[in-house]
Structure 1
């Protein structure tokens, strides 16, 4: 009888451990935050926010307990055209000297079907904060074959108006609406990284 009680207690403990939320660190080398827009209707340029830093908490059994917090340093902004990068960092747009980072912090995570989530959060650019909803797909959650640690990957999309954040110059000829496409990998930090 004692063995049965111990086995049941152990099973509950192990089950609780696997059910607990897992904290991951975003991998900036495998994270792309891509913005695209219409330029006078002629082309659709793109811009990558690189050097991403952030933390993701994911609870597979209770997605409402999940969260994400991301910092996008404007020093990592890359339009693939160096002169345009400088223009985007100028006072015409992001004013990167004064506002060096954009941030996103989730306020709600909801299940939206198999491997689908809706993540609502606050996006802050130039000290202006607006709610944004990300449509998210869970790509994979498993031990990473190279890092030998738990890893997770997501894709996400959203649409925002750049004028909401004080970067609306040349709208509407250059479209006010910007499409965001995000892909990210994140891993459980090594013990020394978690301190």
Structure 2
């Protein structure tokens, strides 16, 4: 249930209309890191991390050389049910007091289409680092559609969605398997 990650990475990947390299930073108000899992095969439960920050360095002329770094605050975990939040945050699972961050650092990007790519990177959860692959789709790059009306949105933006699955036990999280954890990310990032 941790993850999130990564997430964010993806924007990096696709060729874009801009003609220069830029550094993009996540917009917290338009970034979601969600995760879901099967509860003993009986139901599907979900949650999210509400605090995530990331930096993407992207040269539209060479998107496969982009780099992404993301940090997620594990204490921002929210399922909408306090007792479950407390349990997932405890030593039984994420141990958020000991491991306050989840990180993702990209190691490679492979374009798979005009707006899609596989972003490989090192995901660190609970002190354990493993390589994961995000299936990503670039949903926007360039001036924000709201930039002409709202000053905050002026400038260049990149946006993408991404998903992956992980085995939480391989990161030392949880005493038994619930099956794969599905992670979904959606973010807007503003050029600095």
TM over 0.5: yes
The offset of 1:110, in angstroms, is 1.6
Residue 120 of structure 1: aligned partner: 120
Question: What is the TM-score of this pair, normalised by structure 2?
Answer: 0.84
Kept in 2, the 8 Å contact 1:104–1:122? The answer is: yes
| Runs of 4+ displaced beyond 4 Å | none
Aligned residues: 169
Q: Distance in 2 between matches of 1:45 and 1:56?
A: 30
* 1:35-50 correspondence to structure 2 within 5 Å: 35-50=35-50
* 1:127-142 correspondence to structure 2 within 5 Å: 127-142=127-142
Q: Distance in 2 between matches of 1:39 and 1:158?
A: 19
Report the 3-state secondary structure (helix = DSSP H, G, I; strand = E; otherwise coil) of the residue aligned with 2:164: strand
Kept in 1, the 8 Å contact 2:54–2:69? The answer is: yes
1:15-60 superposed Cα distances (whole Å, 9 cap, x missing partner): xxx5332110001111111111100111111110111111012222
Higher strand share: 2
Q: Distance in 2 between matches of 1:57 and 1:50?
A: 23
Match of 1:185 among 178, 182, 188: 188
Higher helix share: 1
Question: What is the TM-score of this pair, normalised by structure 1?
Answer: 0.83
Q: How large is the RMSD of aligned CA atoms in angstroms? A: 1.2
Residue 150 of structure 1: aligned partner: 156
Report the 3-state secondary structure (helix = DSSP H, G, I; strand = E; otherwise coil) of the residue aligned with 2:38: coil
Unaligned 5+ segments in structure 1 are: 1-17, 190-195
Higher relative contact order (CA 8 A, sep 6+): 2
The offset of 1:79, in angstroms, is 1.0
Report the 3-state secondary structure (helix = DSSP H, G, I; strand = E; otherwise coil) of the residue aligned with 2:91: coil
* 1:39-188 correspondence to structure 2 within 5 Å: 39-144=39-144, 145=146, 146=150, 147-171=153-177, 174-175=178-179, 177-188=180-191
Unaligned 5+ segments in structure 2 are: 1-17
* 1:1-20 correspondence to structure 2 within 5 Å: 18-20=18-20
Q: Distance in 1 between matches of 2:59 and 2:82?
A: 40
Kept in 1, the 8 Å contact 2:169–2:176? The answer is: no
Kept in 2, the 8 Å contact 1:21–1:65? The answer is: no
1:168-191 superposed Cα distances (whole Å, 9 cap, x missing partner): 3232xx22x1111110100013xx
